Amino acid sequence: MTDLRVGLIGYGVAGAFFHAPLIAATPGLRLSAVVTGNPERAAEASSRYGARVVPDAAELWDSVDLVVVASPNRTHVPLTEAALKAGLPVVVDKPLSATARQARDLIGLARERGRMLTVFQNRRWDGDFLTIERLAAAGEFGTVHRLESRFERWRPVPKGGWRELGGTEEVGGLLYDLGSHLVDQALRLLGPVTSVYAETDVRRSGVASDDDTFVALTHANGARSHLWASAVASQLGPRFRVLGSRAGYVKHGLDVQEDRLRAGLAPGSPGFGDDPEERWGVLGTDEAGRRIRTEPGDYLGFYRSVVSALREGTPPPVDPEEVVAALTVLEAARRSAAEGVAVAL
């Protein structure tokens, strides 16, 4: 069967380090074209993948079978809308949009045109989160009553770029960047949310968007999630702490796949998603805990599911309706931080 031709819009961090290598490594997909106006990026995409490079997304519509939107956040909605109107299925990097209403409109357009729309919530395929899902499904925690989840880094000197320097019109900042993953994982594990409280701060000089953020969620089942995203954490907390009626789980260190993608390792190569044993998490109590092997991370699983959805009609890897729920939480968090109040949903 002929490979699906993929047009990738954007060849910055998301496009070059995540989407392009994952697309190239997925059976059934071929990175056919890349949209970028940067000459150095264009040369790299062409030499590494043999992809045709074009300066404008409109040049893709007649020559690809799937569009992947990995451009700056503010462009996600108009580019996704244009691709769907051109009759093409779309993968969009997170966040899908700035608001839940915009997301609903895109979902409605996808349904009207009969085309797949899905969102690259790749952190669902982090090895540590896959481990937590497996332990929860096996009843190892008993009833989970608290999730603590962190994406923390120590970057006292800003890197620049629209994520840090742009205002709300850029949909930048950590709340919508790493917070999209944190909230998505919390909803996956603990279900719908009834109340949101958030604190967002700008700690570094010259930065326009939040770089130190905390979100507290109350779930409908009574569980609570405490979520942190920070670029100014001089001492890193655990990536996960899950507390249940029977046992807890503590895990330090980020999933290995991002660093390996940035280092140029091929996704799917032996051991690509394997966590070093010294970083495995601990399950149990202070009196009786044991090391638990981290499940292999599997970002390729996202794109394998995309191929299955397009070839066999299976559900997409991420239901966009679930993204609407997460965006509703993120909007409530932004309001909570601005007004200093908890927001009921």
Contact 102, 77 (CB under 8 A): yes
Average pLDDT across the chain, whole number: 97
C-alpha to C-alpha distance for 100 and 103, rounded to whole angstroms: 5
Residues 37-68 have pLDDT tens digits of: 999 999 999 999 999 999 999 999 999 999 99
At 327, is the pLDDT very low, low, confident or very high (cuts 50, 70, 90)?
Answer: very high
Residues 63-93 have pLDDT tens digits of: 999 999 999 999 999 999 999 999 999 999 9
- How is 276-342 classified by DSSP, letter by letter? PGGG-EEEE-SSSEEEEPPPPP-THHHHHHHHHHHHH-PPPSS-HHHHHHHHHHHHHHHHHHHHTS-
C-alpha to C-alpha distance for 201 and 160, rounded to whole angstroms: 17
Q: pTM (2 decimals)?
A: 0.96
Domains with residue ranges and CATH for the chain: 4-120 (3.40.50.720), 123-300+328-344 (3.30.360.10)
Percent of the chain with pLDDT over 70: 100
- How is 212-239 classified by DSSP, letter by letter? EEEEEEEETTS-EEEEEEESB-SS---S
**Considering just the CA atoms, what is the radius of gyration of the chain in Å?**
20
Tokens coding 249? 């789980």
* SS3 assignment, position 180: helix
pLDDT at 1 over 80: no
pLDDT at 169: 80
At 160, is the pLDDT very low, low, confident or very high (cuts 50, 70, 90)?
Answer: confident
Q: What is the average pLDDT across 221-234?
A: 98
